[in-house]
Amino acid sequence: MTRVYNFSAGPAILPEEVLQKAAQEMLDYKGSGMSVMEMSHRGKEFKQIIEAAEANLRDLMNIPENYKVLFLQGGASLQFAMVPLNLMRKSKKADFVHTGQWTKKAIAEAKKFGEINIVASSEGDNFTCIPELDPATFSKDADYFHIATNNTIYGTAYNDIPQTGDVPLVADMSSNILSEPIDVSKFGVIFAGAQKNIGPAGVTIVIIREDLVGGAAEDVPSLLNYQTQVDNGSLYNTPPCYSIYIAGLVFEWIKQNGGLIGMQKSNKEKAQILYDYLDCSTLFSSPVQKTSRSMMNVPFVTGNKELDAEFIEQSSQRGLKTLKGHRTIGGMRASIYNAMPIAGVKALVSFMKEFETNKGGGNNV
């Protein structure tokens, strides 16, 4: 068996120990004689799985008592609609910071339900940075304020979380949740599709402050109402059982590997190795402004499309997979989520140096 280094932005690499444990438990989960995929979501085994997953997530992120944790479906993209459907209850206004394609989609969806104010945008800089924020432009009466804490496609991330006062801050953390400690109490809602840094596609984590539940209008469909999901402990209908089970194993794996401080330490180290090389390479460079660089997604280019294509082809032959940049921006992108070992990043940099030397560069190595 050969495992590759998978740099996919999502669905993404999972910890090997988690996959092994899932394989061991595949046919007979803890003496039940069934796989988790085959068992009732109302049975005692699954009840234990979802309760342990929530408890471990609460523990890892230090989620305060007055926040609910939900395991939903529909991906982060459904949250682009659920958030306005549930939170636009007074002024029906929302503030957004526009930092790329995921905020573009979130803005387009929220516009269906209310008035959107874009307080800052990095579109003029091709989304290569997080824009400066001026609190004077924030709407005092907004029902919420939306950001994407990590921009998966462009490789940018916030250094400082915006201070929005009494306006609830909503964060799309799909691609950097669990990558480092955060203060959950600064947020009204945190949501994340699982397939980047949590587990398999199919489950979406929502962490929501209690007072933001219960504001949806009467005609909001039951499944899209946070209240329904809270009242039923995410079990109003059949949840994505297997994805929740794997997410639970990932939470255990993170705990065994130093928690979020442990993740932060290794994520910093991995990102540093890659950025240090990019900053001294004569062939490859990072298009992202230094102060906005993501630890999770690292885009890079040679500036020559044919060379990029050649690099992607050759790296793939070396078992360095899925390094192609997003279809809309080209170039390369290495996603180095929690589950990517340091050895994977070292193997990538080593191959980049070799490629650079073969192309006549490499006076820095």
Ligand X SMILES: *Cc1c(COP(=O)(O)O)cnc(C)c1O
Known catalytic residues? Answer: 102, 172, 196
**Residues in 9-38 that interact with ligand X by CB under 6 A:** 10
Alpha carbon distance 248, 250 (integer Å):
5
Nearest distance from residue 103's CB to ligand X, in Å? 8
Under the binding rule (CB under 6 A), the answer on residue 76 touching ligand X is yes
Residue corresponding to tokens 């029902």: 143
Under the binding rule (CB under 6 A), the answer on residue 193 touching ligand X is yes
3-state secondary structure 167-186: CCEEEECCCCCCCCCCCHHH
**Binding letters toward ligand X, positions 139-168, x by CB under 6 A:** ---------x---x----------------
Which residue's CB is nearer to ligand X, number 68 or number 196? 196
Which residue's CB is nearer to ligand X, number 172 or number 356? 172
Cβ contacts of residue 312 below 8 Å, gap of 6+?
323, 324, 332
Which residue's CB is nearer to ligand X, number 244 or number 283? 244
Nearest distance from residue 153's CB to ligand X, in Å? 8
Rule CB under 6 A: choose which of 32, 35, 73, 77 binds ligand X.
77
- Give phi and psi for 322, each to the nearest 5: 60, 45
Q: HSE of 123 in the Cβ direction (CA atoms, 13 Å)?
A: 10
Nearest distance from residue 364's CB to ligand X, in Å? 32
Whose CA is closest to 246, among 8, 37, 30? Answer: 37
- Give phi and psi for 197, each to the nearest 5: -120, 10
Binding region for ligand X (CB under 6 A) out of 27-35, 50-58, 69-77, 352-360: 69-77
Question: How many residues can be counted in the chain?
Answer: 365
**Residues in 163-182 that interact with ligand X by CB under 6 A:** 172, 174-175
β-pair partners for 300? 332
Under the binding rule (CB under 6 A), the answer on residue 75 touching ligand X is yes
Q: Binding residues for ligand X, how many (CB under 6 A)?
A: 12
Nearest distance from residue 172's CB to ligand X, in Å? 5
What single letter denotes the amino acid at residue 46?
F
For 118, the enclosing helix (H) or strand (E) is strand 115-121
Angle among Cα 305, 306, 308 to the nearest 5 degrees reads 65
Binding region for ligand X (CB under 6 A) out of 71-79, 119-127, 130-138, 208-216: 71-79
Query: Interface residues with ligand X (CB under 6 A)?
Result: 10, 75-77, 102, 148, 152, 172, 174-175, 193, 196
